[in-house]
Chain A
Amino acid sequence: MGAILEVKGVKKSFGGVEAIKDISLEVQKGSVTGLIGPNGSGKTTLFNVIAGFYKPDAGQVVFDGQRIDGLNPNEIYNLGLARTFQNPRLFPSMTTLENLMLSPKGQKGESLLKAPLKRLWVDEELKHASEVQELMSKIEIGDLYKTTVADLSGGDTKMVETSKGILGGAKLILLDEPTAGVQYVSGRSVFEHVNMLRKEYNLTFLVIEHRIDLLFDFTDYVYVLDMGEVLSKGKPQEVSKNPEVIKAYMGGA
């Protein structure tokens, strides 16, 4: 197996505020790893650092054996690391089909010179389209291809947001609170989908999530952050019994 993502001694401050004091963690290939902690513990900042939005003040981020700290977000995506947003950032005036057709990387039709010559990219386009069709049926939104994303329901939007990186050859997906805004009872199905995608497409997930019950059932390993540092780590069952973790959650969240 082995670690697909390694964060080593990362620090990040913003004008005097230390968002991340010192974080080191590993995400095993093929796992669903959880990242939890009270608000302000640095989870989203860490995501932003990993995804290339920020350059860490110190430390390294290694993805699939390659250092990615300091690379641009688009370069990181092309290496196979996709980032999703807590408030889904899709392209509102475009249809679901178009949104998903944007995922595949290195599309020949996306070059200024090749685009007018349809013959050069039409085959690739059709191949991508059938992949999209397959994905959409797996996440059960097959007939919504024509719907403008702005008109999609909250749950469907979340599903599209979660899976939009898959067709770009993502190996690791950073999920930012996938059940935020989703009705309590639907939380399980979100994670069931995540599990299914993991198996179907051979993915690894790093998830920021608050719901402990879902973490128990669906994650293999959990990191608890507090005040910019790793407070505790381990299997969810062990971590939830840790008194310091309980104190952090009760006090901070």
Chain B
Amino acid sequence: MVDVVSFLSSWLTLFGIYAILALCLDMEVGYTGMANTGLVSFFGIGSFVAGYISLTVFLSFFGYSYPIYSLDAVIAIGKISGSNPFLSIGVFLMSLVVAFVVSGTVGYLVSYPTLRVGPAFLGITILSFGEMLRIFMKHFTPTGGSYGLLGIPGPFGWVSEPSVKAVLFLALTLAILATVYLYFQTLSNSPYGRMLRSIREDEVASLCMGKPVPRIKAQLLFVGSGISGIAGSLLAFYQGSVSPDMFTTAVTFEVWSMVILGGRGNNRGALVGAAIISLLGWSSSALNFYLPGLVVDPNYIRWMLMGAVIVIILLYQPKGLVPEKPVQTKAWSLFETKEEKGILRKAETAVKRAFSWLAGRSYK
């Protein structure tokens, strides 16, 4: 059933991309208390960087000199994007790295004026920055103005079967997601994560305990924005096109609702929130596709639900669905007694047993 595969892979790929964004936002807001209302800017920058680089490299490699946004370029790309697997993958990796650096740097620069004023001003300024960037990009001809860039050659352009291509890309996205998740997990369960939490709780008190708060915030925003840029690149390669109107503040809100729903300050919660909200988005698109002409456009319902979710969660379950756990570093080992470890050990054993049963082996 090709239909199911393509629908499933499209949902899961978008889930993967948005989950990366949710993880970044969670580290910024949930862990450190920085209200990043301009997430979409770094996401968008990453997308455009990826599009720009891959198109430019491909065209120049094959000796074309069309501007990347022109129709000739699109036609040319159509011919060459499948021809050199190494180039495709190489360009892909390079775009990811450059997107990380560019988005990260912009994030770092933006943090400078905004992180020393209160959250209200931070919120307004970053939000406005995002909008300004979008309007600017609409007039910026080297990247295609309001039409953006088309025909971006993906890393698997050389694969002939579209469904295989989709699955490969999905696997790649999920692999990147897993890496980001692991990275953030190790970061959180370390003195660094502890320090971030202290900044969220009371930045003045944290400052008084010797933590260089503005520097840490700027650093984290660099990393968070950079990784958001990577997510943006993935989107560009997945959709094959980017345009400024894809990056409105609505995207930021969607990711915010994921983080709020799933729970602040824990990475698993971000994944849960991303799964639920992206499912919501996907189902409203599906409804639109299969049942057009309903009384109310499902899209509106979807956004209403998101707004309601944000408010309801903040009112009744402000910590989100998945509760936050204390920072798990080795320090606990000094204090933990054997009994407490017992429960965890039993759970661990049960899970190991289940897995080995599935694998057809007996557990020793």
| Distance A126 CA – B333 CA, assembled complex (angstroms) | 9
| Distance A36 CA – B272 CA, assembled complex (angstroms) | 54
- A128 near B190: Cβ-Cβ < 8 Å: no
- Nearest-neighbor residue (CB-CB) of B204 within chain A: A89
| Distance A109 CA – B191 CA, assembled complex (angstroms) | 5
As a 0/1 sequence over residues 179 to 192 of chain B, the CB contacts with chain A under 8 angstroms (1 = contact) are: 00001001100111
B residues 314-335 near A (Cβ < 8 Å) are 324, 326-327, 329-335
Main DSSP-derived SS at the B contact region: helix
| Distance A121 CA – B195 CA, assembled complex (angstroms) | 14
- B195 near A112: Cβ-Cβ < 8 Å: no
- Give every chain B residue within 8 A of A129 (Cβ-Cβ): 330-331, 334-335
Contact A145-B208, Cβ < 8 Å, known A91-B202, A115-B191: no
- A98 near B205: Cβ-Cβ < 8 Å: no
- Judge whether B46 is part of the interface by a CB distance below 8 angstroms: no
- A77 near B209: Cβ-Cβ < 8 Å: yes
| Distance A51 CA – B207 CA, assembled complex (angstroms) | 11
- B201 near A122: Cβ-Cβ < 8 Å: no
- B329 near A102: Cβ-Cβ < 8 Å: no
- A98 near B209: Cβ-Cβ < 8 Å: no
* Segment with Cβ contacts to A, from B86-94, B168-176, B212-220: B212-220
Contact A51-B208, Cβ < 8 Å, known A115-B192, A115-B193: yes
- Give every chain A residue within 8 A of B212 (Cβ-Cβ): 72, 74
As a 0/1 sequence over residues 42 to 69 of chain A, the CB contacts with chain B under 8 angstroms (1 = contact) are: 0000000001000000000000000000
Contact A121-B190, Cβ < 8 Å, known A89-B202, A91-B201: yes
- B335 near A97: Cβ-Cβ < 8 Å: yes
- B209 near A168: Cβ-Cβ < 8 Å: yes
- B327 near A98: Cβ-Cβ < 8 Å: yes
- Nearest-neighbor residue (CB-CB) of B192 within chain A: A115
Tell me how many residue pairs across A and B have CB atoms closer than 8 Å.
119
- A168 near B210: Cβ-Cβ < 8 Å: yes
- Judge whether A197 is part of the interface by a CB distance below 8 angstroms: no
Q: How far is the CB of A38 from chain B (nearest CB, A)?
A: 26
Contact A118-B190, Cβ < 8 Å, known A90-B205, A129-B334: yes
- Judge whether A198 is part of the interface by a CB distance below 8 angstroms: no
Q: How far is the CB of A166 from chain B (nearest CB, A)?
A: 11
- Judge whether A181 is part of the interface by a CB distance below 8 angstroms: no
Q: How extensive is the interface on chain A, given as a class? A: 35 or more
- Judge whether A94 is part of the interface by a CB distance below 8 angstroms: yes
- A74 near B334: Cβ-Cβ < 8 Å: no
- Give every chain A residue within 8 A of B183 (Cβ-Cβ): 116
- Judge whether B194 is part of the interface by a CB distance below 8 angstroms: yes
- B326 near A94: Cβ-Cβ < 8 Å: yes
- Judge whether B56 is part of the interface by a CB distance below 8 angstroms: no
- B335 near A101: Cβ-Cβ < 8 Å: no
Q: How far is the CB of B16 from chain A (nearest CB, A)?
A: 21
- A115 near B190: Cβ-Cβ < 8 Å: yes
| Distance A98 CA – B202 CA, assembled complex (angstroms) | 14
B residues 103-153 near A (Cβ < 8 Å) are none
- B213 near A74: Cβ-Cβ < 8 Å: yes
As a 0/1 sequence over residues 113 to 154 of chain A, the CB contacts with chain B under 8 angstroms (1 = contact) are: 001101001100110111011000000000001100000000
Q: How far is the CB of B195 from chain A (nearest CB, A)?
A: 5
- B191 near A164: Cβ-Cβ < 8 Å: no
Q: How far is the CB of A44 from chain B (nearest CB, A)?
A: 14
- B192 near A111: Cβ-Cβ < 8 Å: yes
- A125 near B331: Cβ-Cβ < 8 Å: yes
Q: Could you give 29 example pairs across A and B, Cβ below 8 Å? A: A51-B208, A73-B207, A74-B207, A74-B210, A74-B212, A78-B210, A83-B208, A91-B205, A93-B201, A94-B194, A95-B326, A98-B194, A102-B195, A102-B198, A102-B209, A105-B210, A109-B329, A110-B195, A112-B220, A112-B223, A115-B193, A116-B183, A116-B186, A121-B190, A122-B330, A132-B331, A164-B209, A165-B209, A168-B210
16 extra interface residue pairs, beta carbon distance < 8 Å, beyond A101-B194, A103-B209: A74-B213, A77-B208, A82-B208, A83-B208, A92-B201, A93-B324, A102-B209, A107-B191, A112-B187, A115-B187, A121-B190, A125-B329, A126-B334, A130-B334, A146-B335, A168-B209
What 4 A-B pairs have minimum CB-CB distances, sorted nearest first?
A109-B191, A115-B192, A129-B331, A77-B210
